[in-house]
Amino acid sequence: MSLKFGMRTLVLGGQASGKSDVALDLLGSHAGEKLFVATGRARDLAFREQILAHRRSRSAGIDVLEVAAELAASLERERGRWSAILVDSLDFWLFTCRELGVVREQREAFLEVLSHWDEAGSEAHRPADLILVSQETGLGLSPGEAASRAFVRELGGLNRAVAHAADQVTFVAAGLPLHLKGPAF
């Protein structure tokens, strides 16, 4: 459980590392209303099946909001309505922003929202704890294609900026959380 209102937690890991499971456990530890913000869009059958598996693993008591590039605006709108919000994941969100050609403006808007996330609007509108999931880059071979290398660089830069702003950062390997920054949860 968080030590203050508006705690920002980043959960990083490689593909299939268990990062979403760790983040869902953290979300489940919060009392009150919870929101799951889904950024992934099914582009093929295998990914559609992965999304369905994630849906089945979530508690029925968690509301879901699906977003595309408008993550910053959605978070700003939702920040005072929930005890905790989980965004899964920043890498899919960045991919969507790249497809739409809006990386720079959406990244800046997101980082701006993140920078003042813990500021309470009023006693009645305390910000939710925010849990962000992202895939760590650079854990495998360097992509051969220029567009893939550019995405890896953009995601690495985004992860560094979010880690800098976060109160807690956890890296997940083989389903085990390794706490890198802030108090362990």
170 three-class SS: strand
Which tokens in the block code for residue 21? 């499971």
Identify whether 54 is a catalytic site residue: yes
Q: Are 82 and 92 in contact (CB under 8 A)?
A: no
Q: Choose, from 54, 116, 164, 179, the residue flagged as catalytic.
A: 54
Contacts of 106 (CB under 8 A, 6+ apart): 69, 70, 71, 72, 97
The C-alpha R_g of the chain, in whole angstroms, comes to 16
DSSP 45-96: HHHHHHHHHHHHHS-TTSEEEE-SS-HHHHHHHHTTT-SEEEEE-HHHHHHH
Spatial distance between the Cα atoms of 48 and 112, rounded to a whole number of angstroms:
31
**How far is C-alpha 167 from the geometric centre of its chain's CA atoms?**
14
The secondary structure element, H or E, covering residue 24 is helix 19-28
Catalytically active residues, by annotation = 54
